[in-house]
């Protein structure tokens, strides 16, 4: 028997002072939800889905309720679940009107032979599974709307008066969420969920729903969930790189640090990762964030 263990993250971003307490409480609640599931005999997959679902309910985070808006002012959601026992996975991208994208991702894994559904197909699948579409107004927060307006107004002014090379104001909002877990049988799982980045082009997909980038799990090796600059994370396959380092004998902490160091040196960008090895070791690291 193994000791059930779960690690949860609420994103690698500079948390504003007014959100610090809410964010910490949110990840604590999510971790407890996942741990309770395993205490009752649930699997690692059950645990990460429960934990991430909790974070998707919390408007302090960029996932489900509280997700940021794309350039058109719409919510597009991405999520993934990976089962380390079978290495099966399910993911969705460009999902709309969904309170819990991670639950739809699990249904993709459990109910289809596919790994990833996108856009209209993902939305049709969600409704075919009996998950009701929720009004977008239920997902959008005043903070997300304000951040979107600030970005759009700034970009328009810069384009008209100066040059498009100027940087937009830094986001004040939230970030991707995720979890990794090991159950009593030693099986590992990972899950990640996000609304992406403010004012992204419609249809943009980041690292979160991509196997080996946003999440990875292999019960013979370890599990990882990432967060941060999606394009940088995808370029280096950050979650899978963590797995490769674990395979080479590195500890969970070493693998987290070395994988992020590689990303930072090769492509730059801010990111974070949580890691759980097959032996139950934990590791966390972030770069380019405060």
Convert the pLDDT of each residue in 246-280 to its tens digit: 999 999 999 999 999 999 999 999 999 999 999 99
Range name among 174-178, 219-223, 230-234 with the lowest pLDDT average: 174-178
Active-site residue set: 176
pLDDT tens by residue, 186-204: 999 999 999 999 999 999 9
230 is in an annotated binding site: yes
Compute the average pLDDT of residues 283-289: 91
pTM of the model: 0.93
65 is in an annotated binding site: no
175 is in an annotated binding site: no
**8 A C-beta contact, residue 227 and residue 79:** no
Q: Where are the domains of the chain?
A: 5-139+169-220
């Amino acid at each position: 028997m193994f000791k059930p263990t779960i690690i949860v993250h609420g994103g690698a971003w500079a948390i504003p002072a007014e959100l610090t307490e809410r964010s910490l409480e949110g990840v604590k609640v999510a971790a407890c939800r996942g741990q309770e599931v395993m205490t009752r005999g649930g699997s690692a997959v059950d645990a990460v889905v429960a934990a991430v679902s909790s974070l998707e309910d919390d408007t302090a985070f960029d996932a489900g309720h509280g997700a940021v808006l794309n350039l058109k002012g719409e919510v597009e959601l991405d999520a993934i679940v990976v089962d380390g026992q079978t290495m099966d996975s399910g993911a969705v991208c460009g999902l709309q009107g969904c309170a819990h994208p991670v639950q739809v991702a699990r249904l993709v894994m459990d109910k289809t032979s596919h790994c990833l559904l996108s856009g209209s197909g993902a939305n049709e699948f969600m409704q075919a599974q009996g998950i009701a579409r929720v009004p977008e107004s239920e997902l959008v927060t005043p903070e997300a709307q304000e951040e979107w307006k600030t970005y759009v107004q700034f970009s328009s002014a810069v384009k008209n008066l100066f040059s498009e090379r100027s940087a937009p104001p830094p986001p004040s909002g939230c970030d991707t969420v995720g979890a990794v877990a090991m159950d009593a049988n030693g099986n590992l799982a990972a899950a990640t969920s996000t609304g992406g980045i403010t004012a992204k082009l419609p249809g943009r997909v980041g690292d979160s729903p991509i196997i080996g980038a946003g999440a990875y799990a292999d019960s013979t090796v370890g599990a990882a969930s990432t967060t941060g600059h999606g394009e940088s994370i995808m370029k280096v396959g950050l979650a899978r790189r963590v797995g490769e380092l674990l395979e080479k004998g590195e500890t969970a902490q070493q693998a987290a640090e070395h994988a992020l160091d590689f990303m930072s040196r090769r492509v730059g960008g801010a990111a974070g990762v949580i890691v759980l090895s097959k032996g139950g070791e934990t590791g966390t690291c972030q770069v380019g964030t405060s």
